[in-house]
Structure 1
Amino acid sequence: MSEMPYPIQEWEQAIKQIKSVIAARVNVNSQGEIEEVHILAGSGRGPKQIVRDVESILVAQFDLQIDHKKISVAQVDEEEEGSFAIVESTRPKLVGVTLRTVNGMAEIKVELLTGDKLIEGLAQGPSSSHNKLRLFVEATLKALAPLTLDNFVFVTEDVGITQLAKQQIALVSITLIASVGEQSLVGCALVKNDDREAVVKATLDAVNRKLRFLRHD
């Protein structure tokens, strides 16, 4: 369709009226058709129930039909000491990393696979050895942003490669900023062939301590 009969904000507002839904984001293609619906919800109801409600409300209020596979639900639980667990369809897996340097500047791309969906993050900055490691962390966190609906802010505190028992280890320190406060997250990964991939895996290790991705299919 050439024009959207309803603004995206109205679709998102309608979805937010569904029980247990905390936040919603709708992504459309160049034709104005819905490509993805990201839902952040509480843990009181099952993801499948919420998906069915999203389908129903879009049909009832806007006469819009959407494939349930385009709807992803992340669930947030407040755990002991204010920690978080986010439930999603799958745990992100590293697909690849790309580094491009031009005139002293580096561009990093990190590609992750969640379910059958490829997500990617880009980060740019000076191409010094240490800063490039930080950029791999930043690109990984940007790739994860659609899964967290931008309700959580991740700050890269430090990253480095160290040696332990004759093995190279990538270490990443991240601060999670949420409505209830801040938490420090630390991740590590063994450097096997590529320190860049190890930094990405260490970032995922840090984040996955609070973001638990579980299958609900």
Structure 2
Amino acid sequence: MALPADSGGKPSPSPIAGSVFPVQGAEELLSSLAGVLSARVVTTPTGMLEAIHVLTSVEVPPKQTVRNVESALMAHFGMKVDHRKISVATTVEPVKPWKTGGTSGGGEVKTEADLDRRRLYFEDVEVRRSRTKGVTCKVTLRKDGVAYHGEAEGIESDKAWVELAAQAALVAIMQAGGAEAIPLAVYGTKVVEAFDREYVFVGITVRVGRDAMLLTGSCEVRESTETSSVLAVLDATNRWMARDG
């Protein structure tokens, strides 16, 4: 004879605990959020949530995207997700959706970003102050699911933050390129006002053989100048890599 559960014992677990995460439904939901270009949910062999990877445009700041993901999953599935499991990467380039062939004629919606694994995406930038080192800027980029980090140090000033972010981004880019990485250097950075908005412009020098090329990129300032500096670097280098790759 089965005995009833002790109602005065331990509290019931969270709705997400011990449940199988609805991968397909969650990916479709997250892909419909503002600014989201694609979403991928990773689960453990037992079906528990391991990570959520989201690729976004620059229209929505990463922190807002994380909040949107948390709210959407709670509202639609009643699931509370730890924000540390949500990874947001940003691209300044438009990602064109396309469809693979299917028997039903509709096909599965894919994106150019799902296929172009050479492209790097912005994930995070962190600025730290120190009495001994001045300012340290750490940039995290992601390519094909792997994170790459770059750091640069300098003096304390608003202008320095923009240039340090660009330098740290190049360190991460060359780390991602490994032994075959072509040396890159920051030629200059500039914050300008135009059309009642602020933009970060960067110049990147790259040496190919005996020739030196100047790559340029830009990004509107929406969250911070250092974030826009990294995105401007990616605007310049991703286009060059796509053309030469």
Percent pairwise identity: 21
Match of 2:137 among 101, 108, 112: 108
Match of 1:93 in 2: 121
The answer to whether residue 118 in structure 2 is matched with residue 118 in structure 1 is: no
Q: Does the CA-based 8 Å contact 1:174-1:184 persist in structure 2? A: yes
* Cα distance between partner residues in 2 of 1:142 and 1:193: 22
1:48-197 to structure 2, matched below 5 A, reads: 89-103=117-131, 105-148=134-177, 149=179, 151-197=181-227
User: Which structure 2 segments of 5+ residues have no match?
Assistant: 1-114
The CA deviation string for residues 37-61 of structure 1, in whole angstroms up to 9 with x for no partner, is xxxxxxxxxxxxxxxxxxxxxxxxx
* Cα distance between partner residues in 1 of 2:123 and 2:195: 28
* Cα distance between partner residues in 1 of 2:234 and 2:216: 10
Match of 1:204 among 207, 214, 234: 234
What displacement does 1:129 show?
A: 2.1
The CA deviation string for residues 155-179 of structure 1, in whole angstroms up to 9 with x for no partner, is 2111021111111111001111121
Pair 1:194–1:144, CA change in 2 (3 A):
same
User: Which structure 1 segments of 5+ residues have no match?
Assistant: 1-86
* Cα distance between partner residues in 1 of 2:201 and 2:223: 16
Q: Does the CA-based 8 Å contact 1:171-1:202 persist in structure 2? A: yes
Q: Secondary structure at the match of 1:152?
A: coil
Larger Rg: 2
* Cα distance between partner residues in 2 of 1:207 and 1:178: 14
Q: Does the CA-based 8 Å contact 1:151-1:178 persist in structure 2? A: no
* Cα distance between partner residues in 2 of 1:190 and 1:197: 10
Length-normalised TM-score, structure 2: 0.49
* Cα distance between partner residues in 2 of 1:212 and 1:117: 19
* Cα distance between partner residues in 2 of 1:176 and 1:150: 14
Return the structure number with greater relative CO, CA threshold 8 A, min gap 6.
Answer: 1
**How many positions carry a matched residue from both structures?**
129
Give the counterpart letter for 1:153 in structure 2: P
